[in-house]
Amino acid sequence: MSDLVPPHGGGSLRPLLGSLASRGETLRRAERLKKVPMTSREISDLFMLGMGAYTPLAGFMGHDDWRASVTDMRLADGTFWPIPITLSLARSIADGLAVGEEVALADAETGEILGQMVVREKYTIDRDFECRHVFRTTDSRHPGVEKVMRQGEVNIGGPVVVISEGEYPAKYKELYLRPEETRAEFERRGWKQVAAFQTRNPMHRSHEHLAKIAAEVTDGVFIHQVLGKLKAGDIPAEVRTRAIQAMIDNYFKPNIAIQAGYPIEMRYAGPREALIHALIRQNFGCSHLVVGRDHAGVGSYYGPLDAQHVFDELWEGALLCKPLKIDVTFYCYKCAGMATGKTCPHDHKHHLSVSGTRQREMLSKGEEVPAEFSRPEVVAILREYYGSLGKE
């Protein structure tokens, strides 16, 4: 019996990736089926299903699970689930599919077949209704809302078998760990309580401080990178990984921090997204998730602490992975050290604050980066990256 937190839903992990031996045959069968095109977000969800990160889901949601997850943050059987996981099609495509039909799930851009699905249900969705509940807004300038509004108007639900994880395993190698693998690694290290720290960025000292606070109260910290589609201007995963590793190697004791990455695509749903991030981390074997200010938010759609408070609204037993609620972190010149918004009494003018734009400027122009802001080992890697951009 493992000492780690059990997977979500009360059963075993449910990876939907077919065995290596069976994938060739499944693919040959799928090639004869009608192809259903998937967007990048849907593909990311398929990969999450494949690796077991969405345990206990068996595929894309049918109507009752979709509706219950939207309104009540649960599946039709009562299991906690805060964001619908769905596959949408244009009506013209959906009309050509029969309930009970097997279909091939394909990348809309490349045509590559990534999975197979049995269409158990077809249902029309009210996109405004979904967005109002999940995103708390129907404003199409919100990037998550915008994607839902662009979806086809018919959802198809049913069980899936994942045939391919795309380029992830080859591209990210040791970084691409599935829940079964992280659980085995935590056990090998003797970790029982594990705190997940989600990041899309290289880690500066404020992030390092957050991760260290988490490590102080658990057995280890699991630094987990978002590997899904990047926004323009984001630092590539390979550079980010090296920068994070430099921080771990130089500023953490051995056996206290691990980094890995997973194929999620951000929805920017703020509080609801913080909840699903915790659910996913429970499947990876983490007992805690660091939830800072503005977790998974965008613009000013959510209050800075909404993603922390939403955990208090859950019912008993909904989610076993608990939030580590930590306030904003920074270097304070009066405290003469790293501090948080919760405990530092000093005015903002004593806090070191560097905007994203200013960081890029300092790194690409070779300006000195304050040691209170970022570690020199991290700065060296980022400088090299920004320097290489100029030469292209």
In the bound state, the residue with its beta carbon closest to Zn ion is 332
Q: Which is nearer to Zn ion, 189 or 350 (CB)?
A: 350
Distances (CA, A) of 204 to 44, 45, 297: 27, 29, 20
* Residue 201 annotated to the active site: yes
Place of tokens 């904003």: 328
CB 225 to Zn ion: min, Å: 30
CB 307 to Zn ion: min, Å: 25
The residue from 91, 150, 334, 358 that contacts Zn ion (CB under 5 A) is 334
332 is a contact residue toward Zn ion (CB under 5 A)? yes
Beta bridge partner(s), residue 210:
none
CB 355 to Zn ion: min, Å: 20
Q: Is the dihedral of CA 9, 12, 13, 19 positive or negative?
A: negative
DSSP symbols for 106-126: EETTT--EEEEEE--EEEE--
Diameter over CA atoms, the chain: 68
Active-site entry in 200, 242, 293, 360 = 200
Applying CB under 5 A, the span of 114-122, 223-231, 308-316, 330-338 interacting with Zn ion comes to 330-338
* Residue 242 annotated to the active site: no
Query: From CA 174, how far away is CA 107, in angstroms rounded?
Result: 25
CB 347 to Zn ion: min, Å: 9
Of 226, 234, 212, nearest to 356 (Cα)?
234
Applying CB under 5 A, the span of 153-161, 274-282, 322-330, 334-342 interacting with Zn ion comes to 334-342
346 is a contact residue toward Zn ion (CB under 5 A)? yes
Whether cis (ω within 30° of 0) applies to the bond prior to 56 is yes
CB 267 to Zn ion: min, Å: 35
Cβ 5 vs Cβ 321: under 8 Å: yes
Residue 133 amino acid letter: H
Cβ 93 vs Cβ 111: under 8 Å: no
344 is a contact residue toward Zn ion (CB under 5 A)? yes
Q: Is 100 left (phi over 0), alpha (psi -120 to 50) or beta?
A: left
Applying CB under 5 A, the span of 15-23, 25-33, 265-273, 344-352 interacting with Zn ion comes to 344-352
Q: Which is nearer to Zn ion, 188 or 348 (CB)?
A: 348
335 is a contact residue toward Zn ion (CB under 5 A)? yes
Q: Which is nearer to Zn ion, 242 or 293 (CB)?
A: 293
**Site residues, Zn ion (CB under 5 A):** 332, 334-335, 339, 344, 346
Annotated active-site positions, please? 200-201
